[in-house]
């Protein structure tokens, strides 16, 4: 029997919901590899997953209230689709024994290891995603103040103002935004909402798609935020990135680093998606696409120009 178009789309949404639940519940390397294969297998898979991710994020931001039950009425088709997608997500999470997936309530200090990405529920109902090798400390749960000690976080909170302290900088606002602690200071990227970034030398107000770069001497500079990347999914989207940028990003997720000995290849651009932490897979893909050779040592993977 041929499955109708609506039936196929519904099946894909349920599959996407199941994948999202697995990715939010401490996925194994095998889980991430299987997801990457499914995501890249067909454009409809990618569309379904992206749509379910947006639906889940929207539901995550919705005000909490007691559930209501209506009888004698059917959900509108679009609402029914969204509800079924969320049902698939929550069903898998319940089977995993964690209705919030990997969104645990933030404790005094929360850290991630190299290659690990996780999410935490903020006290006011917002969400904070922690990138690889990240450390955050809750300073004041009532005033929604956290300190970023290392790494990168993404905060999603439309209903309440969140405040993040990073070195000598204070970032306050609501919406969706990334904050990354760097050796030079801090980088801020606003994806949605409004932010204010303060330092001992001044302050900047940000609106999308703006960002801010803070340096060790306290200086602030306004920048145009790059295209938002869905790093909380555990994938690195290569579109528009140079090989040097991709290598720098990928090395953050692995103890075995990639090194470019072919400097000229670093400016060449790649397309596609790779799994964060899969340095071997990235090296093979880059070598094949750019006609490079690979030399492996216990500590690094070297990409060299072909002689």
Whether the CB-CB separation of 39 and 23 falls below 8 Å is answered with no
Q: Which two tokens stand for residue 53?
A: 């991710």
Query: Residue 76 burial (CB < 10 Å; 0-12/13-18/19+)?
Result: exposed
pLDDT surpasses 70 at 263: yes
Residue 146 three-state SS: strand
Q: pLDDT digit string (tens) for 206-233?
A: 999 899 999 989 999 999 877 667 899 8
* Cα separation, 68 vs 236, whole angstroms: 40
pLDDT surpasses 70 at 258: yes
What predicted TM-score, i.e. pTM, was given to this entire model?
Answer: 0.65
**What is the pLDDT at residue 91?**
42
In the chain, the domains with their CATH numbers are 5-63+74-95 (no CATH), 103-224 (2.60.120.1440), 234-305 (3.55.50.30)
Whether the CB-CB separation of 303 and 260 falls below 8 Å is answered with yes
**What is the pLDDT at residue 203?**
96
Whether the CB-CB separation of 163 and 144 falls below 8 Å is answered with yes
The residues facing 176 across adjacent strands are 156, 192
**What is the pLDDT at residue 63?**
42
* Chain position carrying tokens 């959900």: 75
115-137: buried (b, 16+ CB within 10 Å) or exposed (e) per residue? bbbbbbbbeeebbbbbbbbbbbb
pLDDT surpasses 80 at 118: yes
**What is the pLDDT at residue 18?**
78
Q: Which two tokens stand for residue 39?
A: 């995501």
Q: What is the mean pLDDT of residues 71-81?
A: 37
pLDDT surpasses 50 at 77: no
* Chain position carrying tokens 């602690």: 181
Whether the CB-CB separation of 211 and 197 falls below 8 Å is answered with no
10-22: buried (b, 16+ CB within 10 Å) or exposed (e) per residue? bebbbbbbbbbbb
Nearest of 84, 48, 59, 116 to residue 253 by alpha carbon: 116
Q: pLDDT digit string (tens) for 22-58?
A: 776 667 777 777 887 888 788 788 878 877 776 655 5
For residue 20, give Cα distances in angstroms to 31, 32, 46, 58.
Answer: 11, 11, 12, 14
Q: pLDDT digit string (tens) for 125-138?
A: 788 999 999 999 98
Q: pLDDT digit string (tens) for 178-206?
A: 999 998 899 999 999 999 999 999 999 99
Q: What average pLDDT does the structure give for the chain?
A: 78
Lowest mean pLDDT among 97-111, 255-269, 285-299: 97-111
The residues facing 47 across adjacent strands are none
Q: How far apart are the first and last CA of the chain?
A: 56
pLDDT surpasses 70 at 251: yes
Query: What percentage of the chain exceeds 70 in pLDDT?
Result: 78
For residue 237, give Cα distances in angstroms to 91, 111, 159, 230.
Answer: 29, 24, 29, 8
**What is the pLDDT at residue 69?**
29
Whether the CB-CB separation of 178 and 152 falls below 8 Å is answered with yes
Higher pLDDT: 225 or 83? It is 225
Q: Which two tokens stand for residue 303?
A: 């990409």
């Amino acid at each position: 029997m041929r499955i109708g178009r609506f039936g196929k789309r519904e099946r894909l949404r349920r599959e996407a919901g199941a994948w999202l639940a697995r990715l939010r519940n401490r996925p194994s390397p095998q889980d991430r590899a299987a997801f990457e294969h499914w995501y890249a297998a067909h454009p409809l898979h990618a569309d379904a997953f992206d749509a379910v991710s947006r639906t889940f994020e929207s539901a995550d931001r919705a005000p909490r209230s007691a559930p209501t039950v209506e009888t004698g009425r059917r959900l509108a088709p679009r609402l029914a689709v969204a509800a079924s997608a969320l049902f698939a997500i929550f069903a898998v999470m319940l089977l995993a024994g964690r209705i919030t997936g990997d969104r645990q309530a933030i404790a005094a200090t929360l850290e991630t290891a190299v290659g690990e990405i996780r999410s935490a529920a903020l006290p006011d109902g917002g969400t904070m995603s922690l990138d690889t090798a990240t450390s955050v400390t809750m300073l004041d749960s009532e005033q929604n103040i956290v300190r970023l000690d290392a790494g990168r976080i993404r905060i999603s909170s439309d209903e309440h103002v969140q405040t993040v302290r990073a070195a000598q900088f204070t970032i306050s606002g609501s919406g969706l935004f990334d904050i990354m602690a760097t050796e030079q200071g801090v980088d801020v990227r606003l994806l949605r909402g409004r932010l204010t970034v303060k330092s001992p030398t001044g302050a900047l107000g940000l609106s999308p798609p703006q960002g801010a770069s803070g340096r060790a001497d306290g200086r602030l500079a306004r920048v145009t935020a790059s295209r938002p990347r869905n790093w909380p999914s555990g994938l690195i989207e290569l579109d528009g990135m140079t090989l040097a940028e991709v290598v720098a990003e990928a090395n953050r997720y692995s103890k075995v680093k990639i090194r470019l000995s072919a400097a000229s290849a670093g400016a060449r651009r790649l397309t596609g998606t790779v799994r964060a932490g899969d340095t071997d897979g990235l090296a093979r893909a880059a070598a094949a696409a750019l006609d490079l050779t690979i030399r492996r040592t216990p500590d690094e993977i070297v990409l060299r120009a072909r002689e």
